[in-house]
Amino acid sequence: MAGRISDEDIAIVRERSPIADVVGEHIQLRNAGGGNLKGLCPFHDEKSPSFNVTPARGYYYCFGCAEGGDVITFVRKIENLTFTEAVERLAQRGGIQLRYEQGGYVPGREQGERTRLIEAHRAAAEFYAERLAAPDAAPGRRFLSERGFERVDAERFGVGHAPAEWEALSRHLMGRGFTAQELIRGGLAREGRRGPIDRFRGRLVWPIRDITGDVIGFGARKLLESDDGPKYLNTPESPIYHKSSVLYGVDLAKREIAKRSQAVIVEGYTDVMACHLAGVPTAVATCGTSFGEEHIKVLRRLLLDQAEFRGEVIFTFDGDSAGQKAALRAFQDEQKFVTQTFVAVQPDGLDPCDLRVKQGDAAVRDLVASREPLFAFAIRSVLSRYDLNTNEGRLGALDAVAPVVAAIKDPGLRKTYVVDLDRWLGFMDEGFVIRRIQQVIGKDRGPGQARAPRQEAVDPAVRLEAEVLKLAVQRPALLGPEFDALGAETFTLPEHVGLYAIIMAVGGTAVGGPGGREWVDRLLEQAGSASGEQGADLRSMTTRFAVEALRADTAVEERYASAMLAKLHETAVGRALAQVKSRLQRLNPVEEQQEYKRLFGELVALEQQHRVLRERAAGA
């Protein structure tokens, strides 16, 4: 490497990378009040949003997993980058030219690996797109035309053509300064006897982009009879391409998914194109793998999928047995969504691309509109395997479908499907159906029910300490010298004592002014000076308190700060009072008269101070 990025450029990158915009490229954020934004955490699974972003201070914090930091920290964690790579990633995003302290502007080969691989893929996408107009790409153009796609459609989705040559792309990219090792590492080429050879040859190529729009891989469709490879060939796993979490079209669909609270899952690249062109701009597809848990996490963050049935995830499958099996596999993952899940099945087996060619754009929209709840589809699919004209068949079907019904997490919805199931089977006895389901799944409580986890109550005194420390981090000027005079003994939790010590070490709230990023940065730097796990915990708490919303509106923050400070002081004085009273009770007023009088005088003074603070807290 040529050296570290200059501190001045790092500061510029932070300043020109609004954290709400950067985070918003990965998850849907909504107004949480107090200048904060909220969404589902990208770093752990959760049902309700606990990931908070504070644009004014440039920090994020998750109250579920305690991850927090600034915009550079977020990019590092979400994309698994080094610090340098994250800064370079943001600089590239903002059009900022970085300077390195030992050698000026860094040539391409000296940049972080991810940055280099992204640039190589972007150059490869441009190369493939240009070659689609070449004479040897006629089979590819014919393939697109037969499926209803025009030249402008290919340009919109970046479709290109890989020449049927061994080294066409490799020569081109190495001529642009990329190394053979970079091409092989990124999956663009394979190791040959005399150097790298192109991975994709004689194929129609679709660029696969991540959620931010960077090309990270390709999907390639066979065109030539002489090609003995698979029909579709995808980029292998690489430092930037992980198929289990990649959704084709997500860069184009993410805003509409968030806007409409709907995601449509289709099976192929041409299906995504057909849906978007037909007026279903929420369509995405997996890339060479089945729909799985990591894909769900991506969609949940875009849908802001939380504890109410608001949005829709719609799976489109063929009407044949393979399509039914695929839908039932999707059902296994349904419980990982909170939102509603549906299946849209075309009875004649046409996929969205073929449907658009044969019946037009409206037919694609109608297919999505005719969606059926995934539970209903799964139940009907199981029932279809039994002869419901016999008692044995009906009972066998009931036993087979019991786990499906039991898996429905919403009690009201589960009850509704029990009623439907009873009607479909013809028993006309809902009680019998419920009892049979309970017997089959072997549970004493109702089907699918689970005991709610216990929640521990939070100590009001600890909550009060946290609120005052939060004010000290966010609005130091509202607390000033009075906070600084409290003393560490005012706080009961060791981590609160530690944060108070950090604030005092940088000069106390008296020098914090209005707060903001500079003040938080000073606190974080001081917290980082603590050793090991303690330092990490203190940085995490500081970030959390910088992001967590205050419990008061902006208009009354000054009064609120005064009241909280008085209550905290009152609580501390109350503890001191209790200690003095306990000591007095243990003294003999005759034999230990002098000490008794001293403590009694201390008790009177503390009681007076306690009364004043209580009145101030109540009147503030």
Q: Dump pLDDT digits (tens) for 397-410.
A: 999 999 888 877 77
The pLDDT of residue 499 is 93
pLDDT attached to residue 516: 87
DSSP, collapsed to helix, strand or coil, labels residue 33 as strand
Give the ranges where 81-190 is alpha helix by DSSP (H). Answer: 83-94, 113-131, 138-146, 151-157, 168-175, 180-185
Q: How far is CA 68 from CA 126, 219, 297, in A?
A: 37, 35, 19
Rounded-to-integer distance, Cα 495 and Cα 434, Å:
51
**What dihedral do alpha carbons 115, 120, 126, 127 form, nearest 10°?**
170
**What phi, psi does 545 have (nearest 5°)?**
-70, -20
Name the token pair of 211.
Answer: 């959620």
Q: Tokens at residue 4, please?
A: 């570290």
Interacting residues of 65 by C-beta distance below 8 A, sequence separation 6+: 41, 43, 44
Give the model's pLDDT for residue 24. Answer: 92
Q: What is the mean pLDDT of the chain?
A: 86
Residue numbers in the chain where pLDDT is lower than 50: 1-2, 104-110, 443-457
| Cα gap 469→491, rounded to integer Å | 10
pLDDT of residue 614: 84
- Calculate the dihedral angle through the C-alpha atoms of 284, 73, 89, 168, rounding to the nearest 10 degrees: -60
Q: Which residues pair with 232 in a beta bridge?
A: 221
For residue 456, the model assigns a pLDDT of 43
C-alpha distances in Å from residue 188, one per residue of 207, 419, 583:
12, 55, 78
DSSP state of 579: H
CB 196 within 8 A of CB 190: yes
C-alpha pair distances (Å), 559 with each of 316, 467, 616: 56, 14, 10
In angstroms, the Cα distances linking 65 to 61, 183, 246 are: 9, 37, 24
